[in-house]
Amino acid sequence: MGVAGPPCFNIHTPWLSYLCSGAGLVALAAGDHHSMALTARGELFTWGRGDQGALGHGTVHGYAGVELAPRQVRSLSPSPGSPRITSICAGPFSSGAIDSRGTAYAWGYGSSYQLGTGRAHNEMQPIKLDALPDPVRHLSLGQLHSLAVLGDGRVMAVGMDEHGSLGGGTEALQRRVAQRPVAVPGLSPAWLAVAGWKHSAAVGHDGRLFTWGWSGAAGAGVFQDYGGGQLGLGDDEDRWQPEQVLRLHTNRHRYYDLRASYVRPWRVLGLAAGRNHTAAVIETELDMRDLAD
């Protein structure tokens, strides 16, 4: 959490991380056991648990690599005339960054090739993702797969294709591994893509939302999978290729269906994916009466 105190304790209210105060922070990201902070100067700080490399310092200190205070990732430090880090992302046990030239980096847990480095092991410090052509516009890290949006709008996926999370289009490839990034078929040019635990989502330049991957396996998942429905397609069936989300519920009883001629198109402006849920910011015109139960 970036605060001084015992190695393991819970904080139940917001707590000022004074160790980062005054640094001019412009972005934050958090994984399961680690956090990241980016300054306006392009300096990247990480803290938390780093035994699998998520902190990117190259070495592990203390029990389970836990670091209580933010420490700068020196290998990505800005220098005169060189690109600086402009965006960051955190997976459950991994981290990623993109610099001002659109070059992507990843590090941390990588047992299923999900970092995009072409190797199936943990990376203890940032590795340039040469398999992704510059510029990379967006990077998102899931549990065992990752997504990237390129400058031309292509969505690239890498790692394990659990329940269709790579969008390859066939259940016969269940648990196949893409060792290098592959393009997700069936998508219009996208500006944003996010990776959840075992599901994925993307937004096209036209504002349309597509989802694919794990949605509960029609109720066949084990207890630890914690249900489904995160694709927003009205059921808990997995999808092996991208499918457009067409219904927007305004309350328990009403919804706007894009297939209806009288419905004004709605656009997705922001998107996030968690373990088994997805959230979106949507621009649309609604009848206020539809918002009441």
Per-residue pLDDT reduced to its tens digit, 8-24 = 567 778 777 766 666 78
Q: Taking all residues of the chain, what is their mean pLDDT, rounded to a whole number? A: 88
Per-residue pLDDT reduced to its tens digit, 115-171 = 999 999 999 999 999 999 989 999 999 999 999 999 999 999 999 998 999 998 776
The sheet carrying 190-195 orders its strands as 190-195, 199-204, 209-213, 239-244
In three-state secondary structure terms, 76 is helix
- The tokens for 107 are 């590090």
Q: What class does CATH assign to 25-291?
A: mainly beta
Residue 68 has pLDDT above 70, yes or no: yes
Residue 256 has pLDDT above 90, yes or no: no
- C-alpha 54/C-alpha 124 separation (Å) is 7
**Range 278-289 average pLDDT:** 82
CB burial readout 81-116, b (16+ within 10 A) else e? eeebbebbbbbbbbbbbbbeebbbbbbbbbebbbbb
Residue 212 has pLDDT above 70, yes or no: yes
**Domain locations in the chain as residue ranges:** 25-291
- C-alpha 250/C-alpha 86 separation (Å) is 36
Query: In terms of DSSP H, where are the helices of the chain?
Result: none
Q: Report the predicted TM-score, pTM, of the whole model to 2 decimal places.
A: 0.90
